[in-house]
Amino acid sequence: MNVAVIGANGGIGRRLLPRLDQAGHDPIGVVRSDEQFDAIRERGGEPRLGDLEEEVAPALEGADAVVFTAGAGGSTGWDKTILVDLWGAERAVTACAEFGIDRFVMVSSRGAGDPESRQGPIKPYIVAKHVADRSLQRSPLEETILRPTRLTDEEGTGRVAAHFGTDPETGPPIPRDDVAQAVVACLENKDTVGHAVTLYGGDTPIEEAMQEAS
Ligand SMILES: NC(=O)c1ccc[n+]([C@@H]2O[C@H](COP(=O)([O-])OP(=O)(O)OC[C@H]3O[C@@H](n4cnc5c(N)ncnc54)[C@H](OP(=O)(O)O)[C@@H]3O)[C@@H](O)[C@H]2O)c1
């Protein structure tokens, strides 16, 4: 499968490309600077330029599936949260619908299913993720939404706690590497289509955890 990864130079994206390559897929690494092209190639991806604040659609052409794992990050303002996490994600969904790309995996955030349950400074981010997720769910695309809790750069464990249809408030953080593995598991398991899955660190082997969708 040709899989375009938006946010390919990010913490999850960098770990996802080699996993897709090793699983026999053809990853397309969508980045916003050509200085990142060599790193994308080294991870087994075909680099393409795409900026969610400018033009991203052409970078998705020819993909069979798109993974959105971009984000404005915590050190920018809420303007970037709206332009990247919300509007950028919506524009990527629209581009997929236009190009006939059916499959979309969104890396969202824990809590995005119910922003009213979250208060404090993180709430605008959670609202942005919620609206982006809702747009995807209302689109004709075959979508899976992963909602990880706090991410770490620890080595992956190959195991998670996956919550389908529930969104527990607390639990262990999750390594970015395990989220990357969960993305591949979703792409390879059609039963995950239509599901929003909260992810914590846990004990269940990732592919087995994704089987819970069936
Ligand atoms: N941090 C957490 O604890 C946490 C928890 C739950 C969910 N999440 C979500 O998980 C996802 C991935 O997280 P992460 O830690 O891997 O993120 P990250 O390391 O911050 O990477 C985000 C990527 O998005 C790219 N990006 C930013 N603005 C862009 C734009 N306008 N156009 C195209 N790409 C753009 C960045 O590009 P550059 O490399 O060029 O800067 C970067 O590569 C994000 O959606 C985040 O919101 C994070």
* CATH, residue 28: 3.40.50.720
Domain count, the chain: 1
Q: Which of 146, 169, 131 is nearest to 68 (CA)?
A: 146
Task: Tell whether ligand 1 has an atom less than 6 A from the beta carbon of residue 7.
Answer: yes
Is 165 a residue whose pLDDT tops 90?
A: no
Q: Show which residues are catalytic.
A: 125
Radius of gyration of the chain (CA): 16
Is 9 a residue whose pLDDT tops 90?
A: yes
- Please give the share of the chain, as a percent, with pLDDT higher than 90: 93
Task: Tell whether ligand 1 has an atom less than 6 A from the beta carbon of residue 148.
Answer: yes
- Average pLDDT over every residue of 107-125: 94
Contact in structure between 129 and 196 (CB atoms under 8 Å): no
- Please give the share of the chain, as a percent, with pLDDT higher than 70: 100
Q: What pLDDT score was predicted for residue 118? A: 85
Task: Tell whether ligand 1 has an atom less than 6 A from the beta carbon of residue 70.
Answer: yes
Q: Of how many residues is the chain composed?
A: 214
- Average pLDDT over every residue of 60-86: 96
Average model confidence (pLDDT) for the chain? 96
- Average pLDDT over every residue of 38-57: 97
Higher pLDDT, 118 or 142: 142
Contact in structure between 97 and 135 (CB atoms under 8 Å): no
**What is the span of the domain harbouring residue 166?**
2-211
* Ligand 1 midpoint to CA 50 (Å): 14
* Ligand 1 midpoint to CA 134 (Å): 19
What pLDDT, in 10s, does the model give residues 86-101? 999 999 999 999 999 9
Q: What pLDDT score was predicted for residue 193? A: 98
* Ligand 1 midpoint to CA 208 (Å): 27
Task: Tell whether ligand 1 has an atom less than 6 A from the beta carbon of residue 55.
Answer: no
Residue minimizing CA distance to atom 18 of ligand 1: 10
